[in-house]
Structure 1
């Protein structure tokens, strides 16, 4: 099975209380089950989020069924995902170079060993 990797970045609001709350929502077993199901249903086999300061990095490993456009459509049509995304906007903010309403920005791979 071929696995492909996608990497993204997003900022949190620079507020220690909000960052702690965001981390609590993402602690093991705390993400809403509908959200983890939607992630898996899209062909995402592993997802990890790392944090430094208020900058986050997400690494997704996906199988051959994953299509980012289809995932966006699935999310847009899933009321529970939309509820989660709206809640997360209380904590997240766009990167300075993001387009209006754009959260997670794809990272450009510039080195590989």
Structure 2
């Protein structure tokens, strides 16, 4: 199993943030299925103010490229992503069209 951490911002608007959270309390079944089908075993999103932090634990079949390709071929996922852009805004260092940016791990403390 591998773990990835990603970040993204929301538009700094309390009403929009509340709507975004409501969508994520009841994500569409097709979105949950696309996540599972991609080899994502666990996905969690955390928020402070308008900053989002996502943790994904994936199996050996997962790749960002394959997930992106599958998403482009799935009309319901594309509809979801378009809707989410109403609430999201790219991080300042993002390239055009980039959403969630992969974060580098800079520290780990393990108790074995």
Distance in 2 of aligned mates of 1:15 and 1:101: 21
Structure 1 unaligned residues grouped into runs of 5+ = none
Q: Give the C-alpha shift of residue 68 in structure 1.
A: 1.0
2:51 is aligned to 55
Question: What TM-score, normalized by structure 1, do the two folds share?
Answer: 0.95
Q: TM-score scaled to structure 2, two decimals? A: 0.96
Say which of 3, 6, 13 aligns to 1:5: 3
| Local SS of the residue matching 2:7 | strand
Residue by residue over 1:11-40, the C-alpha shift from the partner in whole angstroms, topping out at 9 and shown as x without a partner, is 00000000000000011xx10000000000
Q: Alpha-carbon deviation of 1:67?
A: 1.1
Equivalent-residue separation in structure 2 for 1:108 and 1:67 (angstroms): 17
| Structure-2 residue corresponding to 1:105 | 101
* Number of aligned residue pairs: 109
